Amino acid sequence: DWRSRLPLAGRRIVVTRTREQAGSLVAQLAELGADAIELPTIRITDPSDRRDFAQAVVDSPHYDWLIFSSPNGVKRFFRAFFAVYQDIRELGGARIAAVGPATAAELKKVGLMVDVMPKKAVAEELIAEFDRKADEFGGVANVTMLWVHSEKGRSVVYDELMKRQAIVDECIAYNTVPETDDTTGAQARLRDEGADFITFTSSSTVHNYMALGLGIPEGCRIVSIGPVTTGTLREYGLSPAAEAESHDIPGLVQAIRRLCEG
């Protein structure tokens, strides 16, 4: 039948993202014929200091720049923002930076276009992009910036902007915690049946997957979304068979296709 001719036909692929976020990856894999197993390893929760987060959202119109590190940060931030303000224009003339295309796409949903975005979704690349555009914006020295990110995020953005004399405040919009429930029976299925590929989309998916004690099934190849996630895999002595060239979901799917076609 036609399904057997699809590029990922008969491949069993494990998706370790949050339940809320797994959908787009699962859909793209299924469309290409794969049997996608949802095994969420992380859950998005409120930040531990909700009062600080609320205050940062209230104060956000006073900043020169808002910097968003992830789509989750955008969602959480604007859910809180629109509980306080009626109109996106309340942000005033703030410029917007996003760490990558997926974050920029989430900002577009609330009507915001980004001023700075690197091609690769890595914090170091965002800083390099700020440096490249310094003439256009007059640099970041003495500029007020609100950095919206997760509780467990790396501090590269903060550290590097502070080095450049920016005035940076943090807005911790959410936390990621291990997902321990196996309501779908995916963990048991992986143990019993194995898989062809397992995908990791962030360092926290790696840490939490390893904490489940499942190990990597024999013959199962690892695919990583980008260099930071790959670095975390290597800390566990694991080497990905492929790393996505564009550090997003389409890039991840493309990397799996290449492995299958290779």
Q: What are the structure tokens assigned to 96, written together? A: 């917007």
Last residue of a domain, one of 175, 197, 230: 175
| DSSP string covering 186-255 | HHHHHHHH--SEEEE-SHHHHHHHHHTT--PPTTPEEEESSHHHHHHHHHTT---SEE-SSSSHHHHHHH
Dist. CA 197–CA 256, nearest whole Å: 8
Residues 82 and 171 occupy one common structural domain: yes
Length of the chain: 262
Q: What are the structure tokens assigned to 190, written together? A: 């992986």
CATH number, domain containing residue 246: 3.40.50.10090
Last residue of a domain, one of 175, 210, 231: 175
pLDDT along the chain (262 residues), means of 10: 86 86 86 92 92 98 97 96 96 94 94 93 91 91 97 90 97 91 86 95 92 91 96 97 93 95 79
Question: Which pLDDT value is given to residue 183?
Answer: 73
Q: What are the structure tokens assigned to 133, written together? A: 């555009």
In whole angstroms, what separates CA 131 from the centre of its chain? 23
SS3 for 85?
coil
Question: Which pLDDT value is given to residue 178?
Answer: 86
Q: What are the structure tokens assigned to 73, written together? A: 């940060």
Residues 158 and 213 occupy one common structural domain: no
User: 104 is in which domain, residue-wise?
Assistant: 45-175
**β-strands 65-68, 95-98 pairing:** parallel
